Amino acid sequence: MNYSIKKSDLPAFMQSLAKKSEVWVPSEGSSGATLFAPLGDSGLYLAGRTDFSPKFLFRPPKEKMFVFRKNGSSYEIHHKFDPTKRVVFGIRPCDTHALHVLDELFIRYYGDDQFYTKRRRNTVLIALQCKEACENGFCTSMGTSKPIDHDILFTERGSDFFVTAASEKGKKLLNRKFFKPVKDAAPTAEIGCKKQLETKSLGPNLYANFNHAIWKQEGERCLSCTSCTQVCPTCYCYYTDDGFVFGSDKDSERYRFIDSCQLQRFTKVAGGHVFRKSRGARLRQFVLHKLHYYQDQHGLQLCVGCGRCITACPAKIDITKIANEIQREALGGKK
């Protein structure tokens, strides 16, 4: 069953959801950056995908994992799982694919990371289909222009939204007070991305050119500012740290912090050895992880073609230009 909702009824629908759950919506922050914020903090931003994805709702930059204290010869441990019920409205197709690849990692591969899993299972995703390509986006090349694993899909058309429930959780939210059943076909949404990425044999070709000159060339322009990994909806590197409290009845705490492969200290090991000292090596790791390593291990592309890393980079390093240059040589001979 398909439905429609008038655009004028959208605020009231959002308020009805907020009675039982936190509601997060795409908004424009005070700095001008677009991101997901609690309903009511600012107006809705529906012009395109946001500068920052809603990943932080599932992988917080700083996350308390558990508290612990010494108890005789052992420790008492109490986990801190987030029980909050949430609705995320306006998540774009590329970001639903980003959560899909993170699900593969944190729910299946790592044997069900409960900190991540509980947030995912307590969240309803209301996707919003894009009408046009965003700046620097190449989702059509990555096959991510249509949403996946969402609960409800909104597609804008004139003065209303065409609405499709994709899960039982989603159906329960389609209150007849706001939604009218319709029999017409779903509107088509063909995205025309200006940026394209040749994906034929992409991963193997990139890996075969592990020592290509472009890594050093682009690495010399890289600032190691981590902007690319901060805005990427699929970057998940982290480190853990314990806050010990000695000689007290207070609990000690363990936290998990988001980290970045673009920092030199990221590969520093015992003895002080750093595996990727050069920025070129770290940039290569970022690109190969997105376009080869993850797919080789999990069968899914870690890059969802959102183009945020290109937009955010102050040095204007472009992952598609790097990959396409290597692809031109590998597939068509050196020009």
What pLDDT digit, counting tens, does each position of 310-321 carry? 999 999 999 999
Q: What is the pLDDT of residue 42?
A: 79
- Residues 30-84 have pLDDT tens digits of 889 999 999 987 789 999 999 999 999 999 999 999 998 877 778 888 898 999 9
pTM attached to this predicted model: 0.94
Closest CA to 229 of 182, 273, 277, 261: 261
Check if the beta carbon of residue 289 is closer than 8 Å to that of residue 300.
Answer: no
Sign of CA dihedral 309, 237, 52, 95: positive
**pLDDT exceeds cutoff 70 at 228:** yes
- Residues 187-220 have pLDDT tens digits of 887 889 999 999 999 999 999 999 999 999 999 9
Determine the Cα–Cα distance for residues 160 and 182; give it in Å rounded to an integer. 12
What are the φ and ψ backbone dihedral angles of 128, each rounded to 5 degrees? -125, 115
Could you give the 3-state DSSP secondary structure of residue 227? Answer: helix
Residue tagged 């529906």 (tokens): 46
Determine the Cα–Cα distance for residues 174 and 1; give it in Å rounded to an integer. 11
Please tell me what DSSP assigns to residue 238: E
- Residues 250-293 have pLDDT tens digits of 788 999 999 999 999 999 999 999 999 999 999 999 999 999 99
**pLDDT exceeds cutoff 60 at 335:** no
- Residues 155-192 have pLDDT tens digits of 999 899 999 999 999 999 998 899 999 998 888 878 89
Q: What are the extents of the domains in the chain? A: 2-332
What would the mean pLDDT of 93-97 be, rounded to a whole number?
98
Tell me the average pLDDT of the chain.
93
- Residue with the larger pLDDT of the pair 213 and 111: 213
Sign of CA dihedral 245, 250, 252, 258: negative
Determine the Cα–Cα distance for residues 244 and 235; give it in Å rounded to an integer. 29
pLDDT category at 247 given cuts 50, 70, 90 is: low
Check if the beta carbon of residue 49 is closer than 8 Å to that of residue 95.
Answer: yes
For residue 74, list its beta bridge partners: 71
Closest CA to 37 of 24, 19, 48: 24
Taking each helix axis from N to C end, the angle separating 319-332 and 279-288, rounded to the nearest 10 degrees, works out to 80
